[in-house]
Amino acid sequence: MKIITYIIGTLCVLTILSPKVAVSEDLPKKTPAEKKAEAVTLAIMQVETGGRCNLKGASGEKGCMQFLPSTYRAYAKKYMGTTTLPMTKENEILLLTKVNRTHILNGLTIEQVALVHNSGQYKQHRKGVNKFGVPYDTKLYTQKVLREYEKLI
Protein backbone atom coordinates (compact mmCIF):
# COMPACT_ATOMS: atom_id res chain seq x y z
CA MET A 1 0.00 0.00 0.00
CA LYS A 2 1.11 3.53 -0.71
CA ILE A 3 -0.05 6.52 1.32
CA ILE A 4 -1.16 9.50 -0.72
CA THR A 5 -1.89 12.80 1.04
CA TYR A 6 -3.83 15.68 -0.49
CA ILE A 7 -4.21 19.12 1.07
CA ILE A 8 -7.71 20.37 0.46
CA GLY A 9 -8.10 24.06 1.28
CA THR A 10 -6.29 25.34 4.36
CA LEU A 11 -7.87 23.19 7.09
CA CYS A 12 -8.42 19.73 5.64
CA VAL A 13 -5.93 16.99 4.79
CA LEU A 14 -7.14 13.90 2.93
CA THR A 15 -5.04 10.73 3.24
CA ILE A 16 -5.75 7.74 1.03
CA LEU A 17 -4.27 4.27 1.15
CA SER A 18 -3.65 3.37 -2.46
CA PRO A 19 -3.61 -0.34 -3.38
CA LYS A 20 -0.75 -1.62 -5.53
CA VAL A 21 -1.58 -1.26 -9.20
CA ALA A 22 -0.95 -4.36 -11.32
CA VAL A 23 1.70 -3.89 -13.96
CA SER A 24 2.10 -6.06 -17.03
CA GLU A 25 4.72 -8.31 -15.43
CA ASP A 26 2.23 -9.09 -12.60
CA LEU A 27 -0.39 -10.40 -15.04
CA PRO A 28 -0.37 -14.07 -16.03
CA LYS A 29 0.93 -14.75 -19.52
CA LYS A 30 -1.66 -15.86 -22.07
CA THR A 31 -1.26 -19.22 -23.72
CA PRO A 32 -1.18 -19.46 -27.53
CA ALA A 33 -4.69 -20.99 -27.44
CA GLU A 34 -5.98 -18.05 -25.38
CA LYS A 35 -4.42 -15.53 -27.78
CA LYS A 36 -5.91 -17.30 -30.80
CA ALA A 37 -9.31 -17.62 -29.13
CA GLU A 38 -9.42 -13.91 -28.28
CA ALA A 39 -8.35 -12.92 -31.79
CA VAL A 40 -10.87 -15.16 -33.56
CA THR A 41 -13.62 -13.97 -31.22
CA LEU A 42 -12.89 -10.33 -32.08
CA ALA A 43 -12.65 -11.23 -35.78
CA ILE A 44 -16.06 -12.94 -35.62
CA MET A 45 -17.56 -9.90 -33.90
CA GLN A 46 -16.13 -7.62 -36.59
CA VAL A 47 -17.59 -9.74 -39.39
CA GLU A 48 -20.94 -10.30 -37.67
CA THR A 49 -21.73 -6.75 -36.55
CA GLY A 50 -18.66 -4.52 -36.60
CA GLY A 51 -19.10 -4.33 -32.81
CA ARG A 52 -22.63 -2.92 -33.01
CA CYS A 53 -24.43 -5.00 -30.42
CA ASN A 54 -27.97 -3.77 -30.99
CA LEU A 55 -28.38 -5.53 -34.35
CA LYS A 56 -30.84 -8.36 -34.88
CA GLY A 57 -30.38 -10.95 -37.61
CA ALA A 58 -33.04 -12.17 -40.01
CA SER A 59 -33.01 -15.61 -38.36
CA GLY A 60 -33.45 -14.21 -34.85
CA GLU A 61 -29.77 -13.78 -33.96
CA LYS A 62 -28.93 -11.06 -31.44
CA GLY A 63 -26.00 -9.14 -30.05
CA CYS A 64 -22.42 -8.49 -31.09
CA MET A 65 -21.79 -12.10 -32.11
CA GLN A 66 -25.27 -12.69 -33.56
CA PHE A 67 -26.04 -15.63 -31.29
CA LEU A 68 -29.37 -17.38 -31.54
CA PRO A 69 -30.86 -16.96 -28.04
CA SER A 70 -30.96 -20.75 -27.56
CA THR A 71 -27.27 -21.08 -28.49
CA TYR A 72 -26.31 -18.25 -26.15
CA ARG A 73 -28.19 -19.85 -23.25
CA ALA A 74 -26.66 -23.28 -23.97
CA TYR A 75 -23.12 -21.85 -24.10
CA ALA A 76 -23.74 -19.78 -20.96
CA LYS A 77 -24.91 -22.88 -19.10
CA LYS A 78 -21.97 -25.00 -20.28
CA TYR A 79 -19.17 -22.44 -19.91
CA MET A 80 -20.45 -20.06 -17.21
CA GLY A 81 -22.82 -22.24 -15.18
CA THR A 82 -25.93 -20.13 -15.76
CA THR A 83 -28.68 -19.71 -18.34
CA THR A 84 -29.42 -16.13 -17.24
CA LEU A 85 -26.15 -14.48 -18.25
CA PRO A 86 -27.07 -10.98 -19.52
CA MET A 87 -26.27 -10.53 -23.20
CA THR A 88 -23.77 -7.68 -22.97
CA LYS A 89 -20.82 -7.04 -25.24
CA GLU A 90 -18.39 -8.02 -22.47
CA ASN A 91 -20.26 -11.24 -21.67
CA GLU A 92 -20.53 -12.21 -25.33
CA ILE A 93 -16.79 -11.70 -25.84
CA LEU A 94 -15.94 -13.63 -22.67
CA LEU A 95 -18.33 -16.47 -23.52
CA LEU A 96 -17.33 -16.88 -27.18
CA THR A 97 -13.65 -16.70 -26.23
CA LYS A 98 -14.18 -19.62 -23.83
CA VAL A 99 -16.03 -21.57 -26.53
CA ASN A 100 -13.37 -20.81 -29.14
CA ARG A 101 -10.53 -21.71 -26.77
CA THR A 102 -12.13 -25.13 -26.24
CA HIS A 103 -12.44 -25.64 -30.01
CA ILE A 104 -8.79 -24.66 -30.53
CA LEU A 105 -7.59 -26.95 -27.73
CA ASN A 106 -9.61 -29.75 -29.37
CA GLY A 107 -7.63 -29.26 -32.59
CA LEU A 108 -9.93 -27.11 -34.72
CA THR A 109 -8.30 -24.63 -37.07
CA ILE A 110 -9.29 -20.96 -37.02
CA GLU A 111 -11.29 -21.55 -40.21
CA GLN A 112 -13.14 -24.44 -38.54
CA VAL A 113 -13.84 -22.30 -35.46
CA ALA A 114 -15.41 -19.67 -37.73
CA LEU A 115 -17.46 -22.35 -39.51
CA VAL A 116 -18.78 -23.69 -36.21
CA HIS A 117 -19.88 -20.21 -35.16
CA ASN A 118 -21.49 -19.53 -38.51
CA SER A 119 -23.25 -22.83 -39.15
CA GLY A 120 -22.71 -25.22 -36.25
CA GLN A 121 -20.55 -27.48 -38.42
CA TYR A 122 -16.91 -27.33 -39.43
CA LYS A 123 -16.33 -30.08 -41.99
CA GLN A 124 -17.49 -28.45 -45.19
CA HIS A 125 -18.26 -25.17 -46.84
CA ARG A 126 -21.92 -24.76 -47.54
CA LYS A 127 -24.05 -22.32 -49.44
CA GLY A 128 -27.81 -22.12 -49.55
CA VAL A 129 -30.86 -20.86 -47.70
CA ASN A 130 -31.51 -21.68 -44.03
CA LYS A 131 -34.82 -22.73 -42.50
CA PHE A 132 -35.69 -19.03 -42.01
CA GLY A 133 -35.22 -18.33 -45.73
CA VAL A 134 -31.97 -16.44 -45.19
CA PRO A 135 -29.16 -17.10 -47.72
CA TYR A 136 -25.74 -18.03 -46.41
CA ASP A 137 -22.28 -18.77 -47.77
CA THR A 138 -19.95 -20.28 -45.20
CA LYS A 139 -16.88 -20.06 -47.46
CA LEU A 140 -17.30 -16.31 -47.91
CA TYR A 141 -17.92 -15.92 -44.17
CA THR A 142 -14.79 -17.84 -43.15
CA GLN A 143 -12.68 -15.85 -45.63
CA LYS A 144 -13.86 -12.62 -44.01
CA VAL A 145 -13.16 -13.94 -40.49
CA LEU A 146 -9.68 -15.11 -41.52
CA ARG A 147 -8.87 -11.66 -42.97
CA GLU A 148 -9.94 -9.97 -39.73
CA TYR A 149 -8.09 -12.58 -37.64
CA GLU A 150 -4.83 -11.97 -39.55
CA LYS A 151 -5.07 -8.25 -38.71
CA LEU A 152 -5.17 -9.12 -35.00
CA ILE A 153 -2.42 -11.72 -34.81
Domain that holds residue 68: 30-152
The CATH number of residue 110's host domain is 1.10.530.10
Residue 65 lies in a domain: yes
Span 33-51, pLDDT tens digits: 999 999 999 999 999 999 9
Residue 97 inside a domain? The answer is yes
Is there a domain that residue 93 lies in?
A: yes
Determine, yes or no, domain membership for 80: yes
d(CA 35, CA 52): 23
- For the entire predicted model, the pTM comes to 0.76
Residue 56 lies in a domain: yes
CB 115 within 8 A of CB 129: no
Domain count, the chain: 1
For residue 94, being part of any structural domain is answered with yes
pLDDT over 60 at 103, yes or no: yes
Q: How far apart are CA 15 and CA 74, in angstroms?
A: 49
